[in-house]
Amino acid sequence: MKKARYLVDDLYTADPAAHVFNGKIYIYPSHDVESGIPENDNGDHFDMRDYHVFSMDDIDGEVTDHGNVLDVKDIPWAGRQLWDSDCAFKNGKYYLYFPLKDQTDIFRIGVAISDKPEGPFVPQEAPMKGSYSIDPCVFEDEDGSHYMYFGGLWGGQLQRYRDNKAIECGHEPADDEQAIPARVAKLSDDMLEFGEEPKALVILDEKGEPIKAGDHDRRFFEASWMHKYNGKYYFSYSTGNTHKLCYAVGDNPYGPFTYQGVILTPVVGWTTHHSIVEFKGKWYLFHHDCVPSNGKTWLRSMKVVELEYDADGKIITIEGTAE
């Protein structure tokens, strides 16, 4: 296993969503800025107010910063906190999907559009109808359909919803109840809205039973990502407070998905968030840790390392703290 490489040293960047567009890697991370607010579970210590896009011609090559491509002050419905984003391409346009708290401090998911993968991106006037929570990931299947995977607990507010409806006094289930699942929805043809009601993405254990809420080593917390390998759908995610990246495999975009194991053991820092992409015949894990900031309020820096599969299609576990 090769050593992970840090990609940017003049900004704190996290949650990297990597894609191959026009033969290059483009990375869509969030941007950590110290807010001066004491650290808390809602992420208020990060003043995340803009997005930069980065590109690479080669995995070991120079990283180009395309600058500020979307700013919170340019989003008509904005409150605060631009968290993890993702980008998709269709019919000559690039669509940037982003979570942002509206002016009532509720997370919604917005869309911004560009003619180029590096932006700049122009936001829509309003968030996606019926959207909520955080961490949108958009996956294009082989038939051209696009699916959005999203959701995050605690500060990501997913525990406040059941069946796509807000509930009073949102809470996590009891330990012996089914864990709160991520959500998945096919997008509309114009890429601007959900094309259907979001569905629960259920993760099963080795006995075919849904993962329980108390199973913090395996249950979904945030950071959805989807990729396909040898005809199988690999849903990967963060376990949050146990600091692992895990994955589950299914036969279609909706699942159910069966838990398979750990992709990345805990890194230095509270969160772990990632993307997985194939480039020039090899697979790579983009993720982040807090080593360069020396632990200061968990400001994060994105990095990349090669990802490998065994003969059975299992992802070989990467040590998050290994040098």
- Decide if 308 is catalytic: no
Helix (H, G, I), strand (E, B) or coil at 16: strand
235: which 2 tokens?
Answer: 């849903």
Question: What is the distance between the alpha carbons of residues 224 and 135, in angstroms, rounded to a whole number?
Answer: 7
Residue 36: partners with Cβ closer than 8 Å, 6 or more residues away: 47
Around Cβ 143, how many Cβ atoms within 10 Å? 5
Give the CB-side neighbour count of residue 4, counting CA atoms within 13 A.
Answer: 21
* φ, ψ (nearest 5 deg) of residue 146: -115, 135
Active-site entry in 84, 118, 135, 222: 222
Closest C-alpha to 189, from 75, 120, 88, 76: 88
209 given a catalytic annotation = no
* 169 to 38, 161, 238: CA distances (angstroms): 24, 10, 24
Rounded to 5 degrees, φ, ψ at 114 are -145, 160
- The residue type found at 216 is H
- Residue 68's H or E segment, with its range, is strand 63-71
Q: Catalytic: which of 9, 15, 125, 168?
A: 15
DSSP per residue, 21-43: ETTEEEEEEEEE-B-SSPP-TT-
Q: What CA–CA distance (Å, rounded) separates 223 from 233? A: 16
Angle at 157 between CA 42 and CA 30, to 5 degrees: 60
Residues acting as catalytic residues? 15, 222
